[in-house]
Amino acid sequence: MTTMANHLTALPSTTTVDEIVDVIHRDGGVIVEDFLDTPQLDELRAQLGPVLESTGYGEDEFFAGTQTRRAGGLFGRIDLMPEIALHPLYYGAAKKILQVPLSVWVGDDQIEITPDIQIGVTQAIEIHPGQGAQRLHRDDTSFLWRHPDLRT
């Protein structure tokens, strides 16, 4: 395990799902080196290139950027997406993080449910030279994830 200069921990592709989940819970993210093999990366680049080339630059100079291309709906545009989503490390980590039993109320009864998981957003972002950095943010409004208050 190595820690990158940007403070994200990098794990080898031989790591376990539990190690990945531990790092995500601790750091908020993780890099899995060699997550995709070379043929998969070549295929992804070949499929993604035309999608990004046909996507215009953004018009938001304050956040999304005017030197950035953002393409969404990747499951409908990239044939490799199901293979990526079902990769044992990705899918396994998603299940461990998101499929946590919780109690809910149905009328006067409290029951335990385990939510299913689904991918709601896919996006490829291509940042070009001259694009300034975004302000630090956590996409809380997109995913409604509550983070601990780190100010104390």
Domains in the chain: how many in total? 2
Residues 22 and 69 in one domain: no
Residues 66 and 98 in one domain: yes
The pTM score is 0.78
User: Is 135 domain-assigned?
Assistant: yes
Residues 21 and 82 in one domain: no
- Taking 50 as the threshold, does the pLDDT of residue 5 lie above it? no
For 23, the domain range is 1-34
Higher pLDDT, 59 or 145: 59
User: Is 96 domain-assigned?
Assistant: yes
pLDDT value at residue 3: 47
User: Is 150 domain-assigned?
Assistant: no
Residues 3 and 44 in one domain: no
Rounded average pLDDT over 72-99: 96
pLDDT digits (tens, 9 = 90+) for 33-80: 999 999 999 999 999 999 999 999 999 888 888 999 999 999 999 999
pLDDT value at residue 149: 76
Buried b (16+ CB within 10 A) or exposed e, 12-36: eeebebebbbebeeeeeebebeeeb
User: Is 124 domain-assigned?
Assistant: yes
Residues 119 and 130 in one domain: yes
Residues 112 and 63 in one domain: yes
**CA dist., res. 68 & res. 128, Å (int):** 6
User: Is 84 domain-assigned?
Assistant: yes
